[in-house]
């Protein structure tokens, strides 16, 4: 998985959630409910940060390898190339 993208998206969403919770706390005032949801948002952010730190270790433990963007695969035939195809090509200093 492309962890950088997923973590960036999570941070954006948590930032949006934090702004919403701040607006609700301003509207309803300081109460146990608003403090609880504010703490929950902070805990989620800390948990995501911890997961980001541990992502490589978790991937290795589960046999996952980070995915990289790979271009289109091109099949290379096992058959010999026509010698005329390479006729006018220099060996580039390599002689066999």
| Inter-CA distances, 67 with 4, 11, 48, 64, Å | 11, 21, 20, 9
The answer to whether the pTM exceeds 0.75 is no
What is the dihedral angle through the alpha carbons of 10, 14, 20, 23, rounded to the nearest 10 degrees?
A: -160
Distance CA(38)–CA(72), nearest Å, equals 46
What residues contact residue 21 under an 8 Å CB cut-off, 6+ apart? 34, 37, 38, 41
For residue 91, pLDDT beyond 70? no
Q: Residue 24, Cβ neighbours under 10 Å: how many?
A: 14
Mean pLDDT of 7-17: 91
For the segment 31-88, what is each residue's pLDDT rounded down to a tens digit?
999 999 999 999 999 999 888 888 877 776 666 555 555 677 777 777 777 777 767 7
The residue written with tokens 């006018």 in the block is 88
For residue 9, pLDDT beyond 80? yes
Give the pLDDT of residue 1.
45
């Amino acid at each position: 998985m492309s962890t950088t993208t997923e973590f960036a998206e999570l941070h954006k969403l948590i930032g949006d959630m934090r702004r919403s919770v701040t607006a609700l706390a301003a509207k309803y005032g300081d109460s146990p409910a608003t403090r609880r949801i504010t703490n929950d948002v902070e805990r989620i952010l800390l948990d995501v940060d911890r997961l980001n730190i541990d992502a490589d270790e978790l991937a290795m433990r589960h046999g996952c390898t980070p995915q990289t963007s790979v271009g289109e695969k091109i099949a290379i035939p096992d058959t010999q190339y026509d010698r005329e195809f390479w006729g006018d090509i220099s060996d580039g200093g390599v002689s066999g």
